[in-house]
Amino acid sequence: MTADLSARLRAWRHHLHRHPETAFAEHATADYLAGELEALGFDVARGLGGTGLVASLTRGTGDRAVGLRTDLDGLPITEVPGREHGSVNRGAMHACGHDGHMAMALGAAAVLAEEGGFDGTVRIVGQPAEEPGRGAQAMLDDGLLERFPLDVLYGLHNLPGLPAGHLHVRPGGIMASEDNFTIVVHGRGGHAARPEAVVDPLVAGAEIVLALQTVVARNVDPVRPAVVSCTGFETDGARNAIPSTVRITGDTRSFDPQVQELLERRIREIATGVAAAHGATAEVTYTHEFAPTVNDPEVTARAVAAATAALGADRVVGDCDPILPSEDFGVFARHVPACFALLGNGTEPGRGGTPLHSADYDLNDEILPAGVAFYVAAVRAELPAG
């Protein structure tokens, strides 16, 4: 990595960090990315999935195409002040490191454009709205794969808690699905002094929350990871009034479609059954927000070899444990052979160890060259020249 490219990486990353935009509003971000890629010689198409883009560069005569996907959006979080390159858009912040992901994609684009070393087409896929899990499908709906065919797609995400610049990956499920549920329990409210005259949805709701904790422990195969979390409990009652309605919200995480189906079925059965036992009723809404991110085994094997060559065997784990957060990349991986990796951001607070989605998070600039090296090695492995 030359000093010039290292400086460019930091400049790209800091500019993007200063100007975050949230889902489907990444207009200036897309303008900036498109301008930099066009300056490198890429052909850029805009407007896929709203604010998404695809930048393509062909060398040689090869007919295969490899995609490098980067996410564009920040989060609706106000950044802790005092950072030199801090957000100038109050209420928006790159608290998940998408600024760094874009800088890595630009760095890989620069190396490939200026040095070549591949035979075929490389495409930078700039995806909007990763955070709410809507951008990947929006790009597909706009004809991404019909207009810009891909033989393989790569992506990565920084991960605080892993050593800086270490790459972890695995074949199969690496990041979980996310499903959301809302349970509305209907009873009959009344005076708190006369509980015998009401149908108390609060007691029924409390029992539902507790009963849902048995789903993973008693219904899911212990070798299949899953999580059921209740995250909200609201009533329409008052201090001296038993409520008529209780609203429970939460989410589930899993890697297997069969487990997803099981979780939904048991949540519905438990909610309606417990409510009925109390003389109440329950309505359950269950939505699928993120697909699990499942890596193609053959692509992952090539990714491990490329990462090992680029970073060294001591910095690559090819069969890491899966993690339960979700990633919109999983939608792409249902349609294209794909590999998604986790790149360590550091373990110490202030040097990459601050958790994602925190108001004081910042991507560790020291990991930018590792992301570029991995992407370049992966493209050249997929599209060998000569």
Structural domain boundaries in the chain? 3-173+292-382, 177-290
The predicted model gives 256-267 an average pLDDT of: 96
The predicted model gives 171-184 an average pLDDT of: 97
Confidence grade of residue 51 (pLDDT, cut at 50, 70, 90):
very high
Fold of domain 177-290: Alpha-Beta Plaits (3.30.70)
The predicted model gives 23-35 an average pLDDT of: 98
Helices (H) and strands (E) in the chain, counts: 11, 16
Q: How far apart are CA 160 and CA 105, in angstroms?
A: 19
Please provide the DSSP assignment of 271-320 as one string. HHHHHHHTT-EEEEEEEEEE--EEE-HHHHHHHHHHHHHHH-GGGEESSP
The answer to whether 131 is annotated as binding is: yes
The answer to whether 339 is annotated as binding is: no
Per-residue pLDDT at 121: 98
Per-residue pLDDT at 2: 85
pTM of the model: 0.94
Per-residue pLDDT at 1: 66
Top CATH class of 3-173+292-382 equals alpha beta
22 and 73 Cβ atoms separated by less than 8 Å = yes
Q: How far apart are CA 286 and CA 252, in angstroms?
A: 10
Q: Which run of H or E residues covers position 138? A: helix 135-141
Task: Show the 3-state SS of 1-30.
Answer: CCHHHHHHHHHHHHHHHHCCCCCCCCHHHH
The answer to whether 96 is annotated as binding is: yes
Within 8 A by CB and 6+ apart from 110, the residues are: 5, 8, 40
Residues in the chain: 386
Q: pLDDT for 327-370, tens place per residue?
A: 999 999 999 999 999 999 999 988 999 999 999 999 999 999 99
Q: How far apart are CA 154 and CA 375, in angstroms?
A: 8
At 190, give phi and psi (nearest 5°): 175, -170
Per-residue pLDDT at 3: 82
Q: pLDDT for 196-220, tens place per residue?
A: 999 999 999 999 999 999 999 999 9
Per-residue pLDDT at 78: 98
- Catalytic residue annotation: 73, 130
